[in-house]
């Protein structure tokens, strides 16, 4: 794959160049310390892949992507993980590498880029498969361009609201532009269950169960007929 590297920091750029050189499936054709110079190059030349730093003065990596009419596949490289959620808004982005980057992690991102190039898929198309021994205890949500950390234990209910979801926690509620399916994939299966097409609940927060509903705090949540057997299986019944 023909690729270019864009990073305003010289040391970071040298490291990316070395990682590229060590991967036999890549051919580095140009390297830039300025996204503006890279844009001029891309307007006259085609490449298969861009290794793109996000946080650059005056003209960010995201600014560059918005300027390109038909961007190639992109692997973001950054020392700031808070940009990860925004990365999912771009179809051309196939992976997100947080600095410092190891060769092993770099090579995995390249394999993903090759896969996407062959299949026409994007990062959003791949199903999220949580690890069986996932030790994560929280997630980050994008609230007005600010990342807010929410612990799984604090979540009571997640409700679908059209193009948004409402996350109700012990202390406050958050409205997030997402789908119930997308957040369901990121929740620990042992703790959460989708009991209705519009509701995911934290099983540990159930106060009472009656017929086709559960009580969580002061909220009565409907339970669909198809979900009830799984709910009963999850409960520690006497």
Instruction: Reduce the DSSP state of residue 34 to 3 states and report it.
Output: coil
Q: For the stretch 198-220, what's the b/e string if a residue is b when 16 or more beta carbons lie within 10 angstroms of its beta carbon?
A: bbbbbbebbeeeeeeebebeebe
Torsion angle in degrees (nearest 10) through CA of 224, 229, 233, 237: 80
Compute CA distances 163 → 110, 170, 179, whole Å: 32, 23, 7
Compute CA distances 228 → 27, 157, 158, whole Å: 55, 17, 17
CA pair distance 5, 14, nearest whole angstrom: 9
CA pair distance 106, 22, nearest whole angstrom: 10
For the chain, list the domains and their CATH numbers. Answer: 2-125 (3.40.50.2300), 138-234 (2.40.50.1020)
Q: What percent of the chain has pLDDT over 70?
A: 85
pLDDT value for 56: 83
For residue 210, the surrounding DSSP H or E stretch is strand 206-210
pLDDT, tens digit (0-9, with 9 covering 90-100), for 157-206:
999 988 889 999 988 898 888 888 888 888 888 889 999 999 999 999 99
pLDDT value for 134: 45
pLDDT, tens digit (0-9, with 9 covering 90-100), for 51-80:
999 888 778 888 888 888 888 999 999 877
């Amino acid at each position: 794959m023909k690729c270019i590297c864009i990073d305003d920091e010289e040391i970071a750029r040298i490291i990316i160049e070395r990682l590229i050189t060590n991967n036999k499936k890549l051919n580095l054709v140009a390297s830039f310390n300025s996204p503006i110079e890279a844009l001029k190059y891309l307007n006259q030349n085609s490449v298969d892949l861009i290794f793109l730093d996000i946080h650059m003065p005056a003209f960010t990596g995201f600014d560059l992507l918005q300027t390109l009419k038909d961007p190639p596949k992109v692997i973001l490289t950054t020392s700031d993980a808070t940009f990860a959620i925004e990365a999912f808004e771009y179809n051309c982005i196939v992976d997100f590498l947080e600095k410092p980057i190891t060769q092993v992690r770099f090579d995995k991102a390249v394999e993903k880029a090759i896969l996407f190039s062959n299949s026409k898929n994007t990062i959003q198309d791949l199903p999220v498969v949580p690890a069986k021994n996932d030790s994560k205890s929280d997630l980050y949500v994008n609230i007005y361009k600010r990342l807010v950390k929410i612990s799984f234990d604090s979540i009571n209910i997640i409700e679908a609201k059209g193009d948004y979801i409402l996350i109700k926690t012990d202390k406050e509620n958050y409205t997030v532009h997402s789908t119930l399916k997308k957040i369901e994939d990121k929740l620990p299966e042992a703790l959460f269950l989708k009991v209705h097409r519009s509701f995911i609940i934290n099983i540990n927060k159930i106060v009472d169960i009656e017929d086709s509903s559960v009580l969580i705090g002061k909220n009565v949540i409907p339970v669909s007929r198809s979900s009830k057997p799984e709910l009963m299986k999850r409960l520690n019944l006497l």
